Amino acid sequence: MKDEEYLSLESNVRSYCRNFPVIFKSAKDSYLYDKDGKEYIDFLCGAGSLNYGHNNLQIKQKVIEYLNNDGIVHSLDLATTAKQEFLETFYALILQPRKLNYKIQFTGPTGTNAVEAALKIARKVTGRKQIISFTNAFHGVSLGALAVTGHSYYRKGSEGSLNNVTFMPYDSYLGDKVNTIDYLRRFLEDESSGIDLPAAIIVETIQGEGGVNVASNKWLQSLYELCNQLKILLIIDDIQVGCGRTGTFFSFEESHIIPHVVVLSKSLSGFGLPFAVLLLKPEIDIWKPGEHNGTFRGNNLAFVSATETLKQFWSIQKFEKEINERAKILKTALETIIKTHLSNGELRGKGLILGVDCKKPELAKQITNQSFQNGLILERCGSNDQVIKFLPPLVTSIDVIQKAMRIFEKSIPTGLLRL
């Protein structure tokens, strides 16, 4: 079959492959290779699912060893040694050192399924229907998760009802002078505002798909305070920016809040395998057995890869330091490039999720297309796809970051098209 014929077998719903129209064959660390052997630096990073790069040798060896020993691949949610080792390791390396007391729920293996479970448990615990979400939020595309997702492009993809959600302005949505938590508080405290007290507020600390919008620590703290005061559950969707992306394992660590529910997925397996969990404060874990179920709850191969990932990267402090060193280099390089070539551009982000808001969608598209031609894969995000998102694997070497920056710089058009 010719390439074009093969491609048209897949539904029109395919998306990333349209922006990067080659056929990829292999991948290692921060690189992808197409079938003609051309190499690309991968700053798309599986939208944050490949924080440890492609095919990390030690993780891969553990998975292969497990398979070679006839380790159990599928077991519904039966207890397995792979699950036991994951739970023990996650407790010892992630929860205990951070003094976090959470129960761990395995949901279906996608982020959106874990979001569904989070919304369900919040409604079940509080007996309330409403959920509050924020402008530009992205939480997935199954019905419940879609209802708390802001972008009309995704919302229009469903004729189903997306009810019982109120959207409120995210941090800085109304400019720097408006404190959007004060705004939200006014609605929730006024019995006559027309907005029902919600079961939960769901939020990303940095909106990954929504344009790399960062909520300040102060904003998160005020939100947390408001939730505690009004007995609303706070759900942090850490699917994209958790697992080290911002420089700490959880993105909210610096703000010292303790969400009632945390959703993790994308990079949790460490190897790009499907895997999602909810972390629940013990007192809200009121599920009856199997009440939220799914055939693929807990993926044994992902348990194995995640356990090895945690041991390799999160048993030492060094990794957080490395992330922050790399982040500094990426940020400085982008600042210089913006100053020289994109005078109206705005840099946002934290740790190793950075966004360059080009203000003009056509310009962002032109730059990412040219970057791709030049061997660097970059995604666009934001309400009009006007933001170029830099999401390198956290293990990307400084050399590769610098090389990517040279490619990015030379992919910016000169002359009239410049901002």
Ligand X SMILES: *Cc1c(COP(=O)(O)O)cnc(C)c1O
Positions in the binding site for ligand X (CB under 6 A): 47, 110-112, 115, 138-140, 204, 208-209, 237, 239-240, 265-266
* Smaller CB separation from ligand X, 188 or 391: 391
* Smaller CB separation from ligand X, 208 or 294: 208
> Least distance in Å: CB of 119 to ligand X?
12
* Smaller CB separation from ligand X, 139 or 341: 139
Nearest one of 373, 397, 368 to 385, comparing CA atoms = 368
Among all residues, whose Cβ is closest to ligand X?
111
Query: Do residues 135 and 170 touch, judged by C-beta distance below 8 A?
Result: yes
Query: Do residues 412 and 341 touch, judged by C-beta distance below 8 A?
Result: yes
Q: 341 Cβ partners below 8 Å, 6+ apart? A: 409, 412, 414, 418
* Smaller CB separation from ligand X, 111 or 294: 111
> Least distance in Å: CB of 115 to ligand X?
6
Q: How many CB atoms lie within 10 A of CB 88?
A: 11
Q: Which residue has the tokens 């919302």?
A: 155
> Least distance in Å: CB of 33 to ligand X?
25
> Least distance in Å: CB of 237 to ligand X?
5
Q: 132 Cβ partners below 8 Å, 6+ apart? A: 165, 166, 167, 168, 184, 198, 200, 201, 202, 232
- Rounded-to-integer distance, Cα 167 and Cα 161, Å: 15
Nearest one of 107, 141, 96 to 302, comparing CA atoms = 107
* Smaller CB separation from ligand X, 54 or 245: 245
Q: How many CB atoms lie within 10 A of CB 124?
A: 16
- Rounded-to-integer distance, Cα 332 and Cα 50, Å: 23
* Smaller CB separation from ligand X, 240 or 411: 240
- Rounded-to-integer distance, Cα 32 and Cα 324, Å: 24
* Smaller CB separation from ligand X, 136 or 371: 136
> Least distance in Å: CB of 52 to ligand X?
17
> Least distance in Å: CB of 208 to ligand X?
5
Query: Do residues 349 and 214 touch, judged by C-beta distance below 8 A?
Result: yes
DSSP states of 198-228: PSEEEE-SEETTTTSEE--HHHHHHHHHHHH
> Least distance in Å: CB of 279 to ligand X?
15
> Least distance in Å: CB of 66 to ligand X?
23
* Smaller CB separation from ligand X, 239 or 338: 239
